[in-house]
A and B are shown apart, each in its own frame.
Chain A
């Protein structure tokens, strides 16, 4: 029996506003529990919410970026349920009239491009956190997060594999970071995901019964959770049982999903328009103004990198992965004013591997774009060889100065003086008469041996092209 997986994602992205969506309290992460919650966030009697216009602006940016309609009138609604980390006993969200309407996003999986529909995106406030450890059998409540603005992005059930789901999620992740509306930090919970997963027999048009998977706070967990859930559902169906509609929690330690609550136990949220907030009315002028703040989006940037810099698709994709990386690369090219491919190789190669090793973001790189460009310039004007460049890069990384300074200090300037290289070659030839004889009698392979010896003797500084040419002449 062939089965098809159907996946829809609900992504919650915390908006990077300074203050909360309905109060003036700070949204900064990591403060002592309950020190960033004001009377509004705490749901005190008599307090009222006031909408943060920055959150609206950010949601519009997202909508415009996915080609969605922006509602000229959207409405906040109350989602009512009791939980200790939900101070008012309701969450202010949007229900019937969300701010962002239908949009779409292209993903690429194994060379195939696929369009994923986005049903809607709406603004809402985050809840606080319940802490169940270290309280001697009680639970602790931290309301610092309560009232942090979120945008909930709901996809159509358009994805057919965990791989597609990950590709979509990564695409959204890159997009919100590009737009600078979310820091994308998954450890801190700034970017979270729930997955609706079902399976059906291949060729069937009706969807199977779905389970909603919660607690997927890394790309890896999303993939693992979906795969394990798909297996579970197929096993059930193949043994003649049924999938029931429910919410399931993913346990990364045991790599399993388990039931949280069934549809019957689900809350009746009693949504109704929040009478404390007026409908959000947006006019054309406002949207036009927001449009001017949109950066170049990842797909457009990728295409431009291919055409403008002559990069391969792979390179362009790599370099546009984050806005910071793309900006870094472009600054290198701009400073260097030549050979974008060389710049791409260095950014993707040595720079990325150093960053990865130390777990740093591009913005934290000790080697600035200008420094890297300075060094690449030295390669292009033959001051240094590519090999020496690696040594210089490491020195720059360790804070020993610019390429220029390091070359000077360590005497790493490439030897391009023909007579100097000739002297060097003569010495080597004199040192190895046997190898010379063998070479001349047809052992061509020994050419490499002479190159190696000569390069070693020059401490790597001899210009490789010149060395090759001169050696060939001398050995002949």
Chain B
């Protein structure tokens, strides 16, 4: 049952081959059986889940069920969930029970989906290995010595190990795509503004975007269709109709122009990775795609720009965690200043503090122009690069991550090396365009992802290409041993 895709499960539910309660119980059982090894969930919510499952079964009985009704899912612990602990992977919010639902939670609840629980993540989504979580690292189901990637590492590991059919993630600099690649699943970061950020705890507001993490592109299309849409409560969400991502999945790729940025396929890319991706791209050529080289001349500036913009925004976004109204408060503060310093000092982990420090510095009087303003200018250049490239090609293919999953602890002492693991994903967030990662092979039994980037609001095209690829390949059908 757990090997079925979302689409298959929906058919089974509608055909009454299984009830949502049975399905939900099955996944809850798998979580209790396997998650001790993976640590992919921070909170499991069996009671809430079974209640939703019972309601879903009623809808299925009465014929008012939608396609997603009764399907279990896991929500990243960054989405505020009414009455449920929403920790964002931090000690700061270990005691935080959200008094409201994020739009994503509200929408998926309304669709009749069943939330199994909240998945582990890097603290406040800051990390590329899921090792900064207050709740401990998540293990990669393909190799328990390896990281699952981050920051949506819990969601990626849970879907890969089939502890949940699908999950949500968020992506500020690669946090959906990189863990999707490292865990061998499909994940899409939509166009900035496509999915509401309301109730999604902010890391870097101008970059954050929620999206689905699934076993294949078809499931992602179903889930994204439900998550996407304008939200009055998010001024940066975009008021344009949501296309039927499922309807175009089988469109022909004949004549599709795929650009390969020469900056990404340079000699810096390790040869095994290059070979694996080349093979995958050949597969797309067989489907009728035409491949040509493009240039993204400013892509080497993406990491430095990102590490000014994202920390700057986070330094301000995280000011609200002050020990006054909610979240962690230190014991016996002497005075106001002591309350602030110790609550924040004790409540935040070191990576979060590092970024708050960098961001505060970048915004300081006398440095603002040289850092933040300059970074914003370069950000526009990076967007221009993509705009130009999309005049020549329909989509761009790139590695998702420079390497397959690395080992736990391998990069924790060296933040800059850790930051470089997002070198191929970050520019997409700076430009605000959509991109997905799909399974494209293995190196040393660890999954490899191919990234597909598209122009604004081209999610349907990206999912179409991924789906056609997945009809010809079986990388996405591989499952890790032992789960």
* Interface residues of A, Cβ cutoff 8 Å to B: 39, 42-51, 78, 80, 82, 84, 87-90, 141, 268, 270-272, 275-278
Shortest 8 CB-CB contacts between residues of A and residues of B: A89-B319, A270-B363, A275-B206, A275-B205, A46-B199, A43-B320, A45-B201, A46-B80
Contact A46 B320, CB 8 Å, known A82-B340, A84-B336: no
A330 shortest CB reach to chain B, Å = 43
A residues in contact with B416, CB < 8 Å:
none
- Main secondary structure on chain A at its contact with chain B? loop
Segment with Cβ contacts to A, from B228-236, B400-408, B452-460: B228-236
How would residues 306 to 349 of chain B score, 1 for a CB under 8 Å from any chain A CB and 0 otherwise?
A: 00000011011011111011110000000010001000000000
Q: Which of A47, A272, A277 is close to B316, meaning CB atoms less than 8 Å apart? A: A272
- Chain A positions within 8 Å of B199 at CB level: 46-47
Q: Least Cβ distance of A50 to chain B in Å?
A: 6
Chain A residues with CB below 8 A from B265, complex form: none
Cβ of B448 < 8 Å from any Cβ of A? no
Which of A49, A80, A272 counts the most B-chain CB atoms under 10 A from its CB?
A272
Q: Is B113 an interface residue (CB 8 A)?
A: no
Cβ distance B175 to chain A, nearest Cβ, rounded Å: 16
**B102 & A50 in contact (Cβ 8 Å cutoff):** no
A268 contact set on B, CB distance < 8 A: 364-365
Kindly report which residue of chain A lies nearest to residue B205, judged by CB atoms.
A275
Q: Are B99 and A50 in contact (CB under 8 A)?
A: no
Known: A43-B325, A272-B368. A49 touches B319 (CB 8 A): no
The distance in angstroms between the C-alpha atoms of A275 and B235, with both chains bound, is: 10
Give 12 A-B contacts (CB < 8 Å), ordered by A residue.
A39-B99, A44-B325, A45-B98, A45-B201, A45-B202, A46-B102, A48-B236, A49-B235, A50-B232, A272-B368, A272-B372, A276-B235
> When the two chains form their complex, are residues A45 and B235 in contact, meaning their CB atoms are under 8 A apart?
no
Name the B residues within 8 Å of A84 (CB-CB).
322, 324, 336
> From residue B197, how far is it (CB to closest CB) to chain A in Å?
6
Q: How far is the CB of B235 from chain A (nearest CB, A)?
A: 5
Contact, CB under 8 Å: A88 / B206: no
Q: Measured between C-beta atoms, what is the minimum distance from A19 to chain B in Å? A: 14
Shortest A84–chain B CB gap in Å is: 5
B235: contacting residue among A42, A47, A277, CB under 8 A: A277
Minimal Cβ-Cβ distance residue in B for A274? B205
Cβ contact within 8 Å between A50 and B233: yes
Q: Which residues from B are CB-within-8-Å of A45?
A: 80, 86, 88, 93, 96, 98, 201-202, 320-321, 326-327
| Structural contact, B100 and A39, CB atoms closer than 8 A | yes
Q: Is the CB of A89 within 8 A of B316?
A: yes
Contacts of A42 in B (CB 8 A): 325
- What separation, in Å, do the CA atoms of A45 and B320 have in the docked complex? 8
Closest to A88 in B: B320
Query: Given A42-B325, A50-B235, A88-B320, is A270 in contact with B364 using a C-beta cutoff of 8 Å?
Result: yes
Contact with A along B353-365 (1 / 0, CB 8 A): 0000000100111
In the complex, what's the smallest C-beta–C-beta distance from B79 to chain A, in angstroms? 8
Report the minimum CB–CB distance from A259 to chain B (whole Å): 19
Query: By the criterion CB–CB under 8 Å, are A48 and B234 in contact?
Result: yes
A residues in contact with B312, CB < 8 Å: 272
Most buried by A among B235, B312, B313: B235
